[in-house]
Amino acid sequence: MSILVGRSTRLVVQGITGREGEFHARAMLEYGTPLVAGVTPGKGGQRAVDGRVPVFDTVAEAVEATGANTSCIFVPAAGAPDAILEAVAAGIGTIFCITEGIPALDMIPVVAAVEAAGARLVGPNCPGATSPGEAKVGIIPGAIHRPGRVGVVSRSGTLTYEAVQAMTDAGIGQSTCVGIGGDPIVGSSFVDVLRLFAADPETGAIVLIGEIGGSAEEEAAAWAADHLADRPKVAFVAGRTAPEGRRMGHAGAIISGGRGTAASKVAALEAAGFLVASSPSEIPALLRSAGVRD
């Protein structure tokens, strides 16, 4: 099995005729993702990605014509919040927003609207998700994956790629890899994704990749202690040497008022039963030590 994306995914790419949208749409198609439609206002009736994908003016038209149930958004920051709301209004159940640079205040009402509609938003400023051998949605490189039983959830796209490549090189496969995004306001938290992994019988172990700033890792640790006590769990927290008050990479990666430090996150994760790696390359060895074999 898998979570969020898989064989039942029917994907629409919003912004498919832009440079980034078409580039990654082609990669998703080549991976085998069921990409059924694209949306760019004013370009309905055209075809994208070498003529393989029909383009519609609206998400509603794309859903009606193709049965799309998942969206991946490559719309510039100024229009991305409206693109998310358009997908929700059209009945899309799972939305990945790759766009970065969306103001946090713009995302607060959008996240509330998504939740009220019963949909699921991953992102913004996220790399997407991949269920190896089934589908990939977003910008995660497909070649780094190997099908298996380890669920990966991360705030950092680049660290996800490094950790997954290290796992694959060690012969350890993944059930689904999910990047939730590093902005202060995102649609899905660590806990949201851990719930999905906990309900997936094919996910036998967890890798969580966090970073400084906020309290998401501590919240995930508390939830995992109560609900994932029987599964091997490995974590890595980036930013151990970050100075207070300076943003490090993501908008949400900032220590302020003595909160959100790597030390506090590591302590919480270890107390919840996670083995905490000192670098992403150490993750496979810790998984092996916890009994993970493939």
CB 243 within 8 A of CB 270: no
Q: Answer yes or no: is pLDDT of 221 > 90.
A: yes
Mean pLDDT of 28-35: 98
**Average pLDDT of the segment spanning 10-35:** 98
The amino acid at 28: M
Neighbours of 281 (CB within 10 A): 15
The band of 225, judged by pLDDT with boundaries at 50, 70 and 90, is very high
Q: Quick one: angle between helices 262-271 and 216-227, nearest 10?
A: 0
Strands 174-179 and 128-131: antiparallel
CA terminus-to-terminus distance, the chain: 15
If DSSP codes are grouped into helix, strand and coil, which group holds residue 221? helix
**Residue from 24, 145, 227, 250 carrying the catalytic annotation:** 250
Q: Is 292 in contact with 204 (CB distance < 8 Å)?
A: yes
Partner residues linked to 11 by β-bridges: 35, 70
- Residue 47: CB atoms within 10 A of its CB come to 14
Asked if residues 263 and 238 have their Cβ atoms less than 8 Å apart, the reply is no
| Residue 20 confidence (pLDDT) | 97
Task: Judge whether residue 37 has pLDDT over 50.
Answer: yes
Reply yes or no on whether the pLDDT at 85 is more than 60: yes
Go through the domains of the chain in sequence order and give each one's CATH number.
11-122 (3.40.50.720), 141-289 (3.40.50.261)
**Confidence check: pLDDT of 293 > 70:** yes
Q: Residue 240: its pLDDT value, please?
A: 64
**235-281, pLDDT tens digit by residue?**
999 866 445 545 445 444 444 445 578 888 999 999 999 999 999 99
DSSP letters, 126-173, are: --EEEETTTEEEESS-GGG--EEEEEEEES-HHHHHHHHHHHHHTT--
Active site residue 145: no
Chain-wide mean pLDDT for the chain? 93
